[in-house]
A = this chain, B = another copy of it.
Amino acid sequence: MRLLVPFAPDQPKTRLSPVLTPEERADFARVMCEDVLAAVRAVGHEPELLSTKPLDIDAPVTVDDRPLTDAVNAVLAATSEPVAVVMADLALATPGSLDRLLTMEGDVVLAPGRGGGTNAFVARHPEFRVDYHGASYLDHREAATAVGADVSVVDSHRLATDVDEPADLVEVLVHDDGRCRHWLREHGFRIERGNGRVNVTRVDG
């Protein structure tokens, strides 16, 4: 199985701009990506980066500056073996949650993201293609069915949590026990306990 981690070093997490500078966003995005790579390796797979531009990182890098959909579909079209794609911003991904994804049976296995997205998938059907625009989870279900592929779904909070918005940082502070949580704490982020859902606050730069 080929396992790809798409990464866009030149578009670092713009929706986190209310709480992080551009340099911080790039740094945090890199930390999340490296954590995902480590979790993938811990379950015995060798990840490949699919990057919008060259970067110096401890993994093979394929550069494709087209939009994500086109870059992923190019790999799917060129590869006869199963392909897994795991987003680089899954800060909560653990070897256990990735193992559930990668070992689940199904021609197409989807890990939905909060808000209708697709945070990871495994494709074992030669005709499956992606479209990350809009409610991609629903579109990918339809696309799989349209080519006659069985669909399975991994029910995982860890894989459903892509880190895009300030509220997502709460999940990292609560559930991560690795470098991402450490990075946030070093940069002053704390959970703010009150009633209802917990918020994130930044106590210093």
**A139 → chain B closest CB, angstroms:** 9
Give every chain B residue within 8 A of A114 (Cβ-Cβ).
114, 157, 171, 197
**Interface SS of chain A: helix, strand, loop or mixed?**
mixed
Residue pair A135, B96 in contact (C-beta under 8 Å): no
Give every chain B residue within 8 A of A195 (Cβ-Cβ).
133-134
Number of A residues, CB within 8 Å of B = 33
**A112 interface residue, CB < 8 Å from B?**
yes
Measured in the bound complex, the distance between the Cα atoms of B15 and A97 in whole Å is: 31
Closest B residue by C-beta to A173: B116
Closest B residue by C-beta to A119: B157
**A92 → chain B closest CB, angstroms:** 9
Residue pair A115, B196 in contact (C-beta under 8 Å): yes
Mask: chain A, 13-50; 1 = CB below 8 Å from B; 0 = not: 00100000000000000000000000000000000000
